[in-house]
Structure 1
Amino acid sequence: MKSYKPFHSPFDPCPPIGRKYYSTPPHLYLGFQPPNLQQFTPREALKRGTLWPALYDYYENPYKKKRG
């Protein structure tokens, strides 16, 4: 998870937004696929959307209401 603070001008009539957060996908940091990379089982790979655990990135929808 990464974050940044948007620029807010002193002459801007709106209140500052505050910190913004975003995540980057893991494949950006992998480069080339290394040999003998660990793999999910076929069933688990279909559930997670990728064959390799190194490329799996859990996404939680911030707009989905949490059950409580």
Structure 2
Amino acid sequence: MKYVKSYVPYHSPFDPCPPIGKKYYRTPPHLYMTFQPYNLPQFSPQEALKKGTLWPALYDYYENPYDRRS
């Protein structure tokens, strides 16, 4: 499942500004879970505080799509 989506905004031929190009946005993993299953694996309390969630299935690492270093 890809959590990073993209789209190209409309650019009018009469627009004096240059086109913006491709825009990116992220969708959270919980949108794709229809229910919370029993016995999901859990992070340790310290790791859960760092990652912002108790369950690895709901963790989504943020990676900047506009970063050109790759």
TM-score (norm 1): 0.80
Amino acid at match of 2:49: L
**Counterpart position of 1:19:** 22
**Counterpart position of 1:35:** 38
CA distance in 2, matches of 1:12, 1:43: 51
2:10 maps to 1:7: yes
Could you say if the C-alpha distance between residues 61 and 4 of structure 1 is closer, same or farther in structure 2, counting changes exceeding 3 Å?
Answer: closer
- Secondary structure of the residue that 2:20 maps to in structure 1? coil
Aligned Cα root-mean-square deviation (Å):
1.6
Deviations along 1:9-46, one digit per CA (max 9) or x if unpaired, are: 11111111000011111111112101111111111111
**Counterpart position of 1:65:** none
Amino acid at match of 1:49: G
Q: Identity of aligned pairs, percent?
A: 81
Moved over 6 A (4+): none
**Counterpart position of 2:52:** 49
- Secondary structure of the residue that 1:44 maps to in structure 2? helix
2:61 maps to 1:58: yes
